[in-house]
Structure 1
Amino acid sequence: MDTNAALEAFAALSQETRLAIFRLLIKAGPEGMAAGTIAEQVDGRQNTISSHLAALARADLIESKRDGRSIIYRASYKAAGDLIAFLLEDCCGGRAEICTPLVNNLACLQQSAEACCD
């Protein structure tokens, strides 16, 4: 991920509702959610949620697919991983002992993601 893509992703996530939507979609797993369900879950209006979803999609943080009359939105796990990798690219200047807690947290997250997304 380059700096501009990271900045766009951070800009998209720097708004409370968009962050809540992204976290909701991460939790939903690869099945994703319909826009109406997302609006209910984050207590938002349909038209406002649509603009938030569009901002997240422009940042490549979510993907959408039509399913009949609904559009199903899913988090892009690749984009989320790329963003984390961008942040940690030069982690701790090669001093592994400093990074151990961070690596352990990421390993726990990876196990949780694999359990829900396999």
Structure 2
Amino acid sequence: MSFIGIKKNITQKDTAEKYIGDVSTYISNNYSNNIKVHDIAKYVNITGAYLFRLFKEYLHTSPQQFLINFRMEKACELLKDCNFTTGQLARSIGYRDVLLFSKIFKKSFGISPSDYRKQL
């Protein structure tokens, strides 16, 4: 590989890392809102398709799954630290639909949010 090819690969990696870092920051600051992948891509000023490719290549997951995983981690923290109802917890991490939140939580951890709390 030539010097130009190496420089191009380094530049692409740096750019990808910047986008992924910006996305991570955006999600950290906005996960409690009802954000979608489209909102994230718009924030970093790239297309959803490009964002998807970056996440698949560098994180081996989709942006949607990354957002879900982030929210589920926050849900676990809140289940440990707060006495929120399931509805309050769902809304606090960006889900307007409590049933959808419960379904995703159970798919992620194999148990319902209330059963998770009981096991703590």
**TM-score normalised to the size of structure 1?**
0.36
**Which structure: larger Rg?**
2
Greater per-residue strand proportion: 1
Greater per-residue helix proportion: 2
